Amino acid sequence: MSHMNYDRPSERLSKRPKQAADFSKVGGLSNHIKILRDTIIVPLLHSNIYSHFNIKTPRGVLFYGPPGTGKTLVAGALATELNKEGFGKVSFYQRKGADVLDKPSIIFFDELDGLAPIRSAKNDHVHCSIVTTLLALMDGLDSVPGVIIIGATNRIESVDPALRRPGRFDKELYFPLPSTEARKEILQVHMQSWKHKLPPQFVSKLSEITTGFCGSDLQALCAEALLCAMKRLYPNIEECDFLNARRNLIPSAHKLGNRMRKLNSTVAPLLQRQLSVILSRLQMLWPHFSLQFHKYVIGSERYIGRIVLMGSNLQGLNTHLIPAILQHYEHLPVLFLDATTLQNRYLLSNFCKNLPSILVISRIDDLWNFLEIYEQNYIASVLEDIHSGLPILIIATCEEELPLMVLRTFTSHLLQNFFYNNTSLMLTVENPSEQEVEDFFIPLFFGESLQSLSAVLLDMDKQIIYNLWRRVVVRTAKDMPVAHLEVLYDTISACINIHKDNFQNLVKNLEETLSEIENTK
């Protein structure tokens, strides 16, 4: 009897050739793809024209941005696209290239900041010699046709500046966390081969509730949704599977301490109006920061933006408003100037070379009083070097008016000159209005949720619920900042949950709690 070879399902799947990703498999990065076509593919297709004018074709591109945003994926897709354009077999190598210089190839250096960090007295001789050798090798590639160098890093400010000049890395591309529309495109790329298509409305909703997800997170979301579907023993992935998967995943950006986020639905009624005012003023004065691929003519026009927001953490300035502003400008790299940043001066000076970008100085009054005189002079000198022709948006926050704060220090005039003797936007954050407080507490008292007071006291007179709500708005929450309103919201919610089985005790306990808070005020 002949021997029959039965393969396991996993073995049969592994024998299928893996299809190389091309640009059609990349979602949410259409502008990056266009730039790569213009920078790499077109010059290679028309290399004879470049030779005629004795101009070198671009050889290097530097990708930078948060982890999981598609840097490695795009580099591999570029190799596939070059193969499709008829350049022969274009090889893709990661951190190795000694045997590929005689044929079309892409050499990809991931985590370039670890391979070629800034040369300084703190670095040992080995690091400095590696950087020097890499520079020499990249310069030697001018005589080798068809070799493209791509570097990728999460911390471009840590890469040696000598690598970042034209002739080595001719173009720098920032890979931000995907926007809502980009997340929708990424999800559609992952779902395009599925027989059972999800409704477009749900895909749009899914892109809305995945703020902070990078491309890798969205891929993991699809895998988690499949796992949820398999647990249900159902052959298709449904909407409920994605919603369950969303609850099981934490975005990578949040694990890394990302400070960009939208106003959550609970706090939004208190701060949305002030956030809209800030964003509209920024748009009116410096509209170019809202355009992801705006073409800047450095030095010939005024681009710099300066805004000082005065308020406290109790008013939600640094905890809610600043993250929401940064979320609006999510396509721009951000650096927070704080005590940690000052420990590495190269970080700040090199970051200011990333254009366009955002520099945030939170609680500048507390930071300034904490610093030594030489550190204050250093910050002032860095700020003075940011001239009006650089597209850098500087956001500073403080609790009191800046002139009163800075005049207490010897170097006060330096900081004062930077913000007050230049075009700057000064805005004061206020406590929420009575109407905003009403809107804030409406879901807790009259919402459709089973945890709202009207749902718990379903059979009770609605006038009692209305009177409690008006008392909270007019008396208990009067003149409260955002942080205290959040505490009051949580306190009322806790009372509802604890006493929801006893209507009489619930109303009595709520009234006693409100009286105690009012007496404390």
What's the CATH code of the domain at 36?
3.40.50.300
Q: Are residues 414 and 486 in the same domain?
A: no
pLDDT tens for each residue of 339-394: 777 777 777 777 777 889 999 999 888 888 788 888 888 888 888 888 889 999 99
At 5 the pLDDT is 45
SS (H, E, C) 20-80: CCCHHHCCCCHHHHHHHHHHHHHHHHCHHHHHHCCCCCCCEEEEECCCCCCHHHHHHHHHH
Indicate if 285 and 406 belong to the same structural domain.
yes
pLDDT of residue 14: 41
One domain, residues 151 and 282:
no
Enter the tokens of residue 72.
Answer: 């490695």
Please indicate, yes or no, whether residues 237 and 122 belong to a single structural domain of this protein. Answer: no
List, for residues 186-231, the tens digit of each pLDDT value.
Answer: 999 999 989 888 999 999 999 999 988 999 999 999 999 999 998 8
Residue 289 has pLDDT above 60, yes or no: yes
Tell me the mean pLDDT in the region 277-301: 91
140 located within any domain: yes
Residues 279 and 242 in one domain: no
15 belongs to a structural domain: no
Band (6; pLDDT cuts 50, 70, 90): very low
Assigned domain for 7 exists: no
Q: Band the pLDDT of 98: cuts 50, 70, 90.
A: very low
**296 falls within a domain:** yes
Q: pLDDT > 90: what percent of the chain?
A: 40
Domain contains 408: yes
Number of domains in the chain: 4
Query: Does 188 share its domain with 167?
Result: no
Let me know whether 341 and 406 are in one domain: yes
Average the pLDDT over each of 112-116, 123-127, 419-423, 459-463 and give the range with the smallest value: 123-127
Q: Which domain holds residue 470?
A: 434-520
Together in a domain, 281 and 328: yes
Amino acid 493: pLDDT:
93
Greater pLDDT, 487 or 406: 487
Within a domain: residue 11? no
Whether 414 and 489 map to the same domain: the answer is no
For the segment 383-423, what is each residue's pLDDT rounded down to a tens digit? 888 888 999 999 999 887 654 444 444 455 666 677 766 76
Separation of alpha carbons 33 and 43, rounded Å: 15
What does the pLDDT read at residue 273?
97
> Of 205, 231, 255, which marks where a domain is finished?
255
Does residue 416 sit in the same domain as residue 280? yes
Angstrom distance (rounded) from CA 244 to CA 249: 9
Q: What confidence tens digit (pLDDT) does each residue in 30-55 have?
A: 999 999 999 888 888 888 898 888 88
Lowest model confidence (mean pLDDT) among 248-252, 255-259, 324-328: 255-259
The pLDDT value given to residue 347: 72
Compare 412 and 455 and report the one with higher pLDDT.
Answer: 455
The pLDDT assigned to 373 comes to 80
Crossing angle of helices 434-446 and 462-471, rounded to 10°: 140
pLDDT confidence of 10, banded at 50, 70, 90?
very low
Same domain, 91 and 192: no
The whole-number average pLDDT for the span 505-520 is: 89
Looking at the structure, tell me whether residues 424 and 445 fall in a common domain.
no
Domain boundary among 200, 233, 255: 255
Q: What is the mean pLDDT of the chain?
A: 84
- Coil, strand or helix at 492: helix
pLDDT (0 to 100) of residue 17? 44
> Terminal CA-to-CA distance of the chain, rounded, Å?
92
Q: Is the pLDDT of residue 311 over 90?
A: yes
Residue 9 forms part of a structural domain? no
Q: Per mean pLDDT, which range of 241-255, 319-333, 364-378, 467-481 is the poorest?
A: 364-378
Cα→Cα distances 235→14, 241, 288, Å? 22, 12, 48
With CA atoms as reference, report the closest residue to 214 among 355, 426, 94, 72. Answer: 72
263, part of any domain: no
- Domain boundary (149, 174, 199) is at 174
Lowest mean pLDDT among 146-150, 239-243, 308-312: 146-150
CB-CB contact of 330 with 260 (8 Å): yes
CATH code for position 240 = 1.10.8.60
**pLDDT score of 459:** 72
